[in-house]
Amino acid sequence: MMLKFNNVHIYRNHAKNLDFNVIVPEIQKYFPKISIEVRQPFLNNIDNVFAESLTSIRISDIKKPFNEQPGIKVQGKFDKNIVYEMNFPRQLIFSDINNNSSTTERQYKELILYDGFMMQRLLGTTINESESNTDHVHIVFEDRLICTFSEEDWRYHARTFVAGNPSIISTTGIVEAPAKPKEWYIKQMQLAIYDIDRDDDQIDGIFSSNVKKYIDYGDYRINFAAVGYAIQALFFFITEGDPFCNDINCRLYNAHWQEELLQSQIQNKGLCNKHDALLHQFNAV
């Protein structure tokens, strides 16, 4: 059954690297009849208790499920973890992920990972009761890097977004979660072998095109990717919890590689016939 909603509340991210004057009108093109409101960051001015809750959902061992994660003990309101969460993203501390020989694990050595479903549950507890019904959809743009545990390979994977209410879209995840081109990793390994500092400009030099084949920090194209993930978050309700598409030329394509992300969200910017028909049906109600 298609769920009809009329109000969408979008929460800005703290880093302010998204242009909502671009994002909102693009979403409105797909959903012309719904009301879209942009609000301040969801986690503005959190207190010590909430900061401790955020600390408790961090993932320090990506090879263990959430219930087996080692607990982080905080020592009062001046604990470094509490201070970090209350001042995020103005501070950076290093995660405790074990830095072994795995290239995929080394990618996140300077990023703190948070369990995406536990964060969704935590944020959901703060939504006003009058807006917690099916008529209201909340989409939170968050700079923290979320992840989910997969029982297929028994490890956590960085994610771009977690669908539901609220839906969480990680701006850091847009950059870090979809894999970069293979040439990028080859260059990374070459630099590591010779113990050379990893300079982004040097890595980018391996591409013949002046346009990167992946979205990076400070990349304006992140706005168009943000639009696509917001549309996926809304289609979660339209499609009864199955918002993804197998067609790479559809904005609902679940990109696992940056090049797939660029094709589905920037080169194409459209929906396949099937999902376009579903959208038409939703808008016609």
Q: Tell me the residue range of the domain where 113 lies.
A: 7-178+214-284
Give the global pTM.
Answer: 0.86
Written in H, E and C, the secondary structure of the chain is CCCCCCEEEEECCCCCCCCHHHHHHHHHHHCCCCEEEEECCCCCCCCHHHHHHHHHCEECCCCCCHHHCCCCCCCCCCCHHHHHHHHCCCCCCCCCCCCCCCHHHHCCCCCCEEEHHHHHHHHHCCCCHHHCCCCEEEEEEECCEEEEEECCCCEEEEECEECCCCEEEEHHHHHHCCECCHHHHHHHHHHHHCCCCCCHHHHHCCCCCCCCCCCCCCCCCHHHHHHHHHHHHHHHHHCCCCCCECCCCCCCECCCEHHHHHHHHHHHCCCCHHHHHHHHHHHHC
Indicate whether 197 belongs to any domain.
no
Indicate whether 222 belongs to any domain.
yes
Indicate whether 126 belongs to any domain.
yes
- The predicted pLDDT at position 101 comes to 33
Are 179 and 258 a contacting pair, CB within 8 Å?
Answer: yes
- pLDDT-derived band at 3 (thresholds 50, 70, 90) equals confident
- As a whole number, the mean pLDDT across the chain is 85
Residue type (1 letter), 261: L
Indicate whether 205 belongs to any domain.
no
If you search the block for the tokens 């081109």, which residue do you land on? 181
Q: What is the pLDDT of residues 86-123, one digit of tens each?
A: 888 654 333 333 333 333 333 444 689 999 999 999 99
Closest CA to 166 of 262, 283, 39: 39
Indicate whether 45 belongs to any domain.
yes
Indicate whether 194 belongs to any domain.
no
- The predicted pLDDT at position 90 comes to 54
- The predicted pLDDT at position 68 comes to 92
Q: What is the pLDDT of residues 61-88, one digit of tens each?
A: 999 999 999 888 887 777 888 888 988 8
Q: How many domains does the chain have?
A: 1
Indicate whether 26 belongs to any domain.
yes
- The predicted pLDDT at position 240 comes to 87
- pLDDT-derived band at 181 (thresholds 50, 70, 90) equals confident
Instruction: Please determine, for residue 135, whether its predicted confidence score (pLDDT) is greater than 50.
Output: yes
| Percent of the chain clearing pLDDT 70 (strictly above) | 83
Residue type (1 letter), 28: Q
Are 182 and 212 a contacting pair, CB within 8 Å?
Answer: no
**CATH number where 12 lies:** 3.40.390.10
CB atoms within 10 A of CB 1: 4
Indicate whether 66 belongs to any domain.
yes
For residue 280, CA distances in Å to 28, 30, 74, 229, 283 come to: 13, 9, 51, 19, 5
Instruction: Please determine, for residue 41, whether its predicted confidence score (pLDDT) is greater than 70.
Output: yes
| Percent of the chain clearing pLDDT 90 (strictly above) | 66
CB atoms within 10 A of CB 85: 23
If you search the block for the tokens 């095109």, which residue do you land on? 209
Length of the chain: 285
Closest CA to 72 of 48, 87, 54: 54
When pLDDT is averaged across residues 256-278 and rounded to a whole number, the result is 94
